[in-house]
Structure 1
Amino acid sequence: MQVAEILVGLASSNIDRLFTYLVPNSLKERIKLGVRVRIPFGHQTTEGFVLKIYDTDEKFDYELKEILEVIDEIPILNDELIKLGKYMGETTISYLISAYQAMLPPALKAGGSKTAKKKYKKYLSLSPNNNFIENYISKHKQAKKQIELINYLKEKKEKIEKKELTNLFSTNIINELVKQNVLKETSVEVYRIEDEIDASLEKVVLTDEQKIAYEKIINSLNKNETFLLYGVTGSGKTEVYMQVIEKVIQNGKEAIVLVPEISLTPQMVRRFKRRFGPLVAVMHSGLSNNEKYDEWRKIRRGEVKIVVGARSAIFAPFANLGVIIIDEEHEATYKQENNPKYHARDIALWRAKYHNITLILGSATPSLESFARAYKGVYTLLTLTKRVGNIELPTVEIVDLREEYKSGVRTNFSRRLI
């Protein structure tokens, strides 16, 4: 018999383990590692993740319950994410189910109350049977508007979005032609975020410091090495990222770029999309549940090569990662405050080791731990000391407000500032 070990989608210390269920013959073809299933659990029906499947002749001391339904056609947790979840559960001292739920958009969480629907656009086209269309026209010569619509589609020679046609012809006419099989209606799935941005932003010529950093990074792309890119504000760290990503894509691999939520502005996203076009997916808290669901599926289906996002984007289900980049790596927002209390940098280190790839940590003010690791040789330190165009940094002067107070100043502004 075939059995599956399932992690129930409920967070509790009493059930923070795998439960064994019998796989019925009707589901053997569909059951896979990483899919969600619906199962009887106690006096209720709930959902869980399949984390192990095997055949056994073992006789259990209790009667095994059967899996009721397989929810997903394609696994939503791949082998890497299953292993990563176990690592997170151990290192963050959190429930195993919490680790897996953190990786997924709301609509894909086991037992979650959030749902998402696929979006479709309806298209209309003429029947491929030309004789049928000509016979219909000859029999309905008085239906001038119908014939006008048919001739309009003949000129277009391609399917037209139904919404566009309803602006030109009445819905009744369209529906009647569909009913008579003169028009064929088809539905095509579309994503909610589909920016029509051409990849028109050309790469710039790197400065000498940027070239040194870039060369060292691309020479290490096929091995697990962590770089700390310490560059002053305006030194062109983002351009280095982009040119490294371009090289990674040329090698047939994918990239994750993490930025703090506050820095994930439309301008920054647009910059990446102007460089890489439709190869970019975006993941952050500002998206709706449906948008998160769409972006996740783009990644899972291999339709994009780059993910730009906040903390949770580190879990992007890429199967062939080539580089992970964490910009402004010192930011506290990379640490999750709720369970599981993970740090995105730690997850990035784990994934980089798993894929044997490069991790880049960038900042103008690196965290103390990253600086210490760089100086000890754990990370490779790369520096960008000059701004692009040799623009001078502003002069900074420190004023001791205690001395100002002694001089009779009773505000939070020094005389020097005023």
Structure 2
Amino acid sequence: MILETLVVKAKQLMEDKGFVEVAPSLPLSKTFYYQVPENLRDNLEVGKRVLVPLGKRRITGYVLGFPSEIEIKDTKDVLDVLDDLPLFRRDELIFYRWVSSYYFSPIGEVIKTALPKGINIETLQILSLTEKGANILASYNGDSPVYPVRDAVPNGTYRILKEISGGKGVTLRHLIKRLTVNNPRSLLFKLRDEGLVNIEFKQKGRLIKPKTERFVRYERDSLSKQDFTSSMDILKKKAPKQATIFKFVRDKEKVSFRMLKKEFGNSSGSVKRLKEKGLISVSYEEVYRDPFAQYAYSKDTPPRLMKRQQEVLNRIIKGINSGKFSPFLLHGVTGSGKTEIYLRSIEDVIRLGKEAIVLVPEISLTPQLVSRFKSRFGNNIALLHSRLSEGERYDEWRRIRKGEINIAIGVRSAIFAPFENLGIIIVDEEHETSYKQEDKLRYSARDLAMVRGKLAKAAVIMGSATPSLESYYNSKTGKLTPLSLPERIENRPLPLVEVVDMRDEVKESSRKGLIFSKKLEKAIEETLVKKEQVLL
């Protein structure tokens, strides 16, 4: 019997949400369409993750939109919505689609790269034996991994059934790593079809969750001033530790358990009794992991700009205030004050209520650089780089997503920082090759800075003492506005550089394998005599 295929032509408005386009969080180039059950429609938004069937699997995917007109064959239903709030907005999705198209990479992989690693939900395939499978395993004699075909079961069955036995279930990924048989997936699925193995799907939840701490808070309305004095006198006589802790909490109004333990040792009993008396309250509150704990900084005073710096800054600010895409190439010698230009430009962006991304090569992300930005902008900065723990990176991403900060400073992946109202993107040392990612999603953060800046109608500054050939050419053809800082701050001299022709040195020397010139050797000797250091 030939089954007729039902073709559903759905003409619907965006808000109808009858069908949804989903990008799987897998390296698949195509997206899929699913029907949305009535009970899930109110909770479904672009940017949320959903649980959907794909073949005989259940996978997680990202909601990309709600098509207005589609042709669908044999639609399947969305199984569940996995997020309370969207992980990305529609404007970010436009950027992701561009990246996917330009770099020929699946949109799901692009989104996965843009999101913090710890929030990705993984679908696991859990294997267990059926009763028939357990009986066949018991029927084998010996422990050889290969047996003749019996009951239509292929060779290699014993090893697989033995690995799965135990009752706790084994993941498909773990089993395949341990097997030495050919085509293990095909063999497993055949065993499932023969009724020997069960394959169930289980969602592995977030690895990273918001961090919470216990806090003790003084109940301001619990006592009058007179009653407080009376209570303190009683506590000092009968429970001196409670009195000390109570006064400490009252003075600070809110204290973490961690701080109490540091100050007074084990305080759980005293806190419990103070709470029973209604003098304090105890609650769990979310706290951010602090990636800046290792950095020391103090508020700085902006230096006076040199004339050339001021001219460059004026042109950049004009571009920022125009509300149009304004790309610049800032070509400044080492020590010319490029960083101060960055800082002043960001100050203007913040004044307009907008946000900034600062990209730096991994090698340049030093405590000195971070401290300089912190000294100028305080806690209004998120730090994004590979040396952060997954928890720290997750918290920094959430601070940006919530709109609690205006500046992100980090390596190439920071180009995906989820700002809503970008005013400027700065690419420092833009000539560095480390802005290119060479594995998984391959991209150039320098190029993406230009694309995202154009989409956001923001200013983009490419800064370098030695610009890349591409940027230099673009500045000559009008794609980038050239800005120059040819002199160092306070007209400090540049290092003297002398080029020595080693061909002449070889002719004059009888030594073989000559590496250093006579002038360099002499300079090294003179430096060491002065008890100074040499860097080659």
Answer whether TM exceeds 0.5 for this pair. yes
Amino acid aligned to 2:83: D
- Aligned to 1:201, the other structure's residue is in SS state coil
Superposed counterparts of 1:180-219, under 5 Å: 183-193=280-290, 195=292, 200-219=299-318
Residue 110 of structure 1: how far off its partner (Å): 5.3
Are 2:90 and 1:79 aligned?
A: yes
Please state if 1:156 is matched with 2:251: yes
CA distance 1:27–1:176, shift in 2 (3 Å): farther
Alignment deviations for residues 4-55 of structure 1 (CA, whole Å, 9 cap, x no partner): 211111113xxx2221223233332321101122223333322110001257
Q: Which amino acid aligns with 1:73?
A: D
Helix, strand or coil for the counterpart of 1:416?
helix
Q: Which residue of 1 aligns with 2:396?
A: 295
The higher-RCO structure (CA 8 Å, 6+ apart) is 1
Residues 263, 153 of structure 1: alpha-carbon distance in 2 compared, 3 angstrom cutoff = closer
Aligned to 2:38: 25
Aligned residues: 413
SS in 2 for 1:49: strand
Q: For 1:141 and 1:329, locate their aligned partners in 2 and report how far apart those are by CA, in whole Å.
A: 65
Q: Is the 8 A contact 2:354 2:421 kept in 1?
A: yes
How much has 1:388 moved relative to structure 2?
0.1
Q: Bigger radius of gyration, 1 or 2?
A: 2
Within a 5 Å distance, the mapping from 1:2-401 to structure 2 comes to 2-12=18-28, 16-53=29-66, 60-68=72-80, 70-109=81-120, 111=122, 115-127=207-219, 130=222, 144-145=239-240, 148=243, 151-152=246-247, 155-156=250-251, 158-166=253-261, 167=264, 170-178=267-275, 183-193=280-290, 195=292, 200-221=299-320, 222-401=323-502
Q: Partner letter of residue 268 of structure 1?
A: L
Mapped contact 1:35–1:71 kept (Cα < 8 A): yes
Counterpart-to-counterpart distance in 2, 1:141 and 1:201? 45
CA deviation vs aligned residue, 1:355-376 (integer Å, no higher than 9, x gap): 1121110000000111111112
Question: Alpha-carbon deviation of 1:397?
Answer: 1.3
Q: Which runs of 5+ in 2 are unaligned?
A: 1-16, 124-204, 522-536
Distance in structure 1 (CA, Å) of the matches to 2:340 and 2:297: 18
Consecutive unaligned residues in structure 1, runs of 5 or more: none
Of 327-336 and 120-129, more deviation after overlay is shown by 120-129
Return the letter of the residue paired with 2:23. Answer: L
Contact 2:359 2:428 in 1 (8 A): yes
Deviation per CA, 1:151-182: give whole Å up to 9, x if none. Answer: 52674271222223332563223234446765
Quote the Cα distance in structure 2 between the aligned partners of 1:269 and 1:184: 38
Letter in 2 for 1:66: V
**Letter matched to residue 497 of structure 2:** V
Q: Aligned with 1:220: secondary structure?
A: helix
TM-score scaled by length of structure 2: 0.71
Separation of aligned partners in 2, 1:140 and 1:272 = 48
* Structure 2 counterpart of 1:65, one-letter code: D
Go from structure 1 to structure 2 and tell me whether the alpha carbon gap of 1:134 and 1:143 turns closer, same or farther (over 3 Å shift): same
C-alpha separation between the residues in 2 aligned to 1:276 and 1:66? Answer: 45
